[in-house]
Chain A
Amino acid sequence: MRAFALITLLLAGCAGQQSAMHVAGDQAATLISLFRLMMWVCGIAYLLVILFLGWGLIRRRSAADTSEQPYHKLMAGWVGFILLGLILLVVASFLADRSLGQRQQVPLQVRVTGHQWWWRIEYQAGNGRWIETANELHLPAGVPVLLELRAADVIHSFWVPNLAGKMDMIPGKINRMTVTGRTNGWFRGQCAEFCGTQHANMALAVKVEQVGEFDRWLAGQARPVSPGEGVAAGRKVFESASCAVCHQVRGTEARGRVGPDLTHVASRRTIAAGTAPMTHGSLRGWIIQPQAIKPGTSMPPSDLSPQDAEAVASYLETLR
């Protein structure tokens, strides 16, 4: 019970950008109410144990008072309490599970693929086309979205606690889950299955926004870069150096598919899957010495001159 009070206290206090207690979606709401029910039942059970133990330790003992009879009755009551509690919790759990599993009409489908250590995100755009971005998921508020979860290398787990419980991303398998955002705002998700050296720095920025705003964002993401766009010098270095081998900037010569799509990289809040904020400085640092920022990352240290790296950072910064 003390724990419950403490948790409620914290619920009010913390920022909760990545928290199962700070509910911002339908699925998370179902789960937190199940958790509250569990807290009540388990809290009462613990209280009973403490009371019985406390009484057993301090009670006055008389020589005549060693009959086991009352304890048999007490045990029967205890077993009955446990059984009732378990039945209640199993049923509640079953109902919650069923509500999470309901397949409703879903207007929007998003494919999220886990990589060591970043997220590839593709929005279904009709006629078989997919709009690609990375490490930042936008969701229209109030609209159920079907997430198709895959893994490119090892097992990862998709988890945005404010919106829903987690679901593993498993090589050779496609998992699906429905997420319905309710509260507008920025949230944070994080890989929840240990996936290697930089498991800790595999985060996902999630924005729940009004449908109109979302549609504008998606249209922006769908647009390829126009021929003259961006800092020309940086673009030239990007396409001629090793950058373009792994990264794609749609509408240009850069067509690599190994690393994250960078077509609108500057529109994102962070780089390297939540490792650093999106600023000119961290872009340049990431280009020159990625291993210093995220040791173990697949991004190789670059052989660019400081001027070239500066130019590439300036170029990327214009890709909004």
Chain B
Amino acid sequence: MSQRHEQLQATWSDPPGIWGFLTTVNPRRIAARYVLTAIALLILSGLLALDMRVQLSQPQMHRMTAQLYNESFALHGSTMLFLVSVPVMEAMAMWLVPLMLGQRTMAFPRLNAFSYWLYLGGVMMLWVPHTLGVTPDLGWFEYPPLSGPSYSPGHRADIWAQMITFTEVAALAVSVNVAVTILKMRPPGMTLAKMPAFLWAMLVSAVMTIIALPAVMLVTSMLIADRLVSTHFFSPAGGGDVLLFQHLFWFFGHPEVYIIFLPGVGFVSAIVETFSRRRLFGHVPVVLSMLAIAILAFGLWVHHMFAVGLPKVGNALYTAASMAIALPAGIQIFCFIATIALGKPSYRTPLLWIIAFILTFVIGGLSGIMTASAPLDLQLTDTYFVVAHLHYVLIGGAMFPLFGAFTYWYPKATGRLMSDGWGIVSCALIVGGFNIAFFPMHILGLMGMPRRIYTYGPEMGWGDLNLVATGGTVIASVGASIFVANALISYWRGKRSGADPWSGSTLEWATRSPPSNYAFADVPVVQSAAPMWDNPLGPFPVMRGLSSRCREALVTSLVDANPQCRQPSPGPSIWPLVAALVTSALFVGSIYTPWALVWGAVPLALVLTAWFWPTRPRRKEAQA
């Protein structure tokens, strides 16, 4: 056993030192990078938000100029949606999916590496120019004609548009990887019907990403074309249509919200099950609700456009489709509460985050029903009511479960537990501060405060509630600092957790903490959606036969997860990094000249050829 462990450890290890850092294809190592980068950006964006709240805390504050404020909210929104929320959810999937499948790796390990380097390129695309004083200043949506060549000279808008290309290519790469891994690499016995709700959430979210993201890449490319080579997609004078941008943007933009929210549902399912010490109540309704949300999500983008003056015929349809989301979301909430009620809840920090999720997200969902109404939305859209709504949905619906998930899987990643006491303190401060900060914004919106204004007059009567909101933000920031400190200190001082500190229900708890390079020596055979609880005493049934001398992964059938073949899995390679560098050069260059696309394609083709060059010798070795 020990000899086999050492052999597997060697087979799946990275080269030592910096070369290993650059060439690794270990999904956990790459996902950790993704998560840490996203957390760093989350902190930076949070500081931006804090700064904006200071500016708005009272009428006519002079902390920021109009230009600086516009840059701040543009940077905050773009970072949070494109560089934090979506990537961090994908990174969580990258880290957890192979473990929950009892697999050694993912379907396309090198694609993960490529994805991270490209994502990092997108991060630098936005934040390096920011340090040089060139920051996009038109919000996270950049509607033309304001973002067109006539009203936005310079490169601020190009930087924003190309940052999206970066991150969306990266997101597509991970999503394809997650979807294929879940569909084709499930352990024997894990039929689609017996797949944990977490994996369903990640699968549905990945498929939605694959369908939704091309729309935004298309629309930002059209914007760049308008700006760079004078096409007229969005210029009315040249026969273009400014609303085309909004349709394409929101065809992506609304599903994006669920792409962020569904992984949150996955975290909640996993945490509720473990901490209620009971199988998830209503596994089938929860999964069907996810599918219903995914389908509805593509039929309601127009609810972002009720005020643009589209024919009223469609209003009723889009109103009904948007409100209909309340049904699957309501069923999910019911099932989570029922699981707690039926089980024997253990009130550790992760479960507290889930309770915070229910209390907060439901308010966001209900204000969503209000904004879904076509006529009522005419009063609510583009006001602070919507600012409150979207933060209740995204922070309450996705970030609270993410913080819960972070606490829940922290011992799996580090081998140590985070402090429960400080966890409770940080949870209470963040959740309390959040509600103090954002609840008053509903009222501010009804009192007529529009979004994206850098200041307001004292006669408007918005000062008091804004001061309360800023106070709430400060409280939440203190809580966030405690959370970060808790995570850092626990890394060295935390109580050792062992493999399974929570008596978790899913397969990741079957391997050591932190997992070894290969994670699983043999693929477990499962009988239910909570495989760890099937046979608590006896040894885990496993399927032997995967080589320990070369990298191999098990491929199973799509529906029934019957073993099909042993797939050779690629080892460390520098080519994903080189390919990402070349792609980055192409993307950056195409801001300045369209010829960058042409000449950039040549080195890219060469690098991809090198990346995909067949490696026969390893095959032979595998057969030997």
Contacts and interface: CB of A to CB of B under 8 A. Distances in A.
Q: Does B associate with A?
A: yes
Interface of A: 3, 6-7, 10, 14-21, 28, 30-31, 34-35, 38, 42, 45-46, 49-50, 52-53, 55-57, 59, 61, 66, 68, 71, 74-75, 78-79, 82-83, 85-86, 89-90, 93-94, 96-98, 100-101, 116, 149, 153-155, 157, 159, 161, 164-168, 170-173, 175-176, 188, 190-200, 295-296
A66 B333 CA distance: 19
A75 B375 contact: no
13 contacts: A14-B461, A46-B363, A57-B340, A68-B281, A75-B285, A75-B338, A78-B334, A94-B319, A165-B377, A166-B378, A168-B307, A176-B309, A200-B66
B337 A93 contact: no
A78 B359 CA distance: 17
Given A3-B442, A166-B379, A155 B242 contact: yes
Contacts of A35: 370, 376, 379, 446
Contact of B327 (A6, A82, A96): A82
B448 interface: yes
Contact of A167 (B309, B376, B452): B309
A53 B338 contact: no
B252 interface: no
Contacts of A191: 450
A52 B319 CA distance: 28
Which of B331, B341, B381, B450 has its CB near the most chain A CB atoms (within 10 A)? B450
Nearest to B308: A168
Contacts of B324: 86
Given A28-B379, A57-B355, A168-B308, A194 B373 contact: no
Interface string B448-478: 1011111110011100000000000000000
Interface stretch (B139-147, B426-434, B520-528): B139-147
Which of A19, A46, A55, A90 has its CB near the most chain B CB atoms (within 10 A)? A90
A193 B370 CA distance: 20
Contact of A79 (B67, B327, B379, B446): B327
B181 interface: no
Contacts of A171: 145, 236, 242
B66 A38 contact: no
A165 B447 contact: no
B312 interface: yes
B373 A18 contact: no
B150 to A, nearest CB: 8
Interface string B396-415: 00000000000000000000
B308 A170 contact: yes
B81 interface: no
Contacts of A50: 359
Interface in B192-219: none
Contacts of A98: 312
Contacts of B446: 7, 19-21, 35
A97 B460 CA distance: 29
A194 B387 CA distance: 14
Contacts of B236: 171-173
Given A6-B443, A155-B143, A199-B453, A31 B375 contact: yes
Contacts of B285: 75
Contact of A93 (B319, B338, B453, B460): B319
Nearest to A41: B369
A66 B362 CA distance: 26
B379 A20 contact: yes
A200 B342 contact: no
B382 A59 contact: no
A188 B449 CA distance: 11
B64 to A, nearest CB: 11
B146 A34 contact: no
Nearest to B311: A101
Contacts of A56: 337-338, 340-341
Interface string B306-321: 0111001001100110
Given A83-B327, A155-B145, A192 B382 contact: yes
A296 B66 contact: yes
Which of B66, B67, B340, B367 has its CB near the most chain A CB atoms (within 10 A)? B66
B241 interface: yes
A53 B379 contact: no
B149 to A, nearest CB: 12
B70 A94 contact: no
B307 A45 contact: no
B243 interface: yes
A197 B154 CA distance: 15
Given A86-B323, A90-B319, A149-B309, 4 more contacts: A14-B447, A15-B459, A79-B327, A190-B448
B345 interface: yes
A294 B600 CA distance: 44
B375 A30 contact: yes
B440 to A, nearest CB: 9
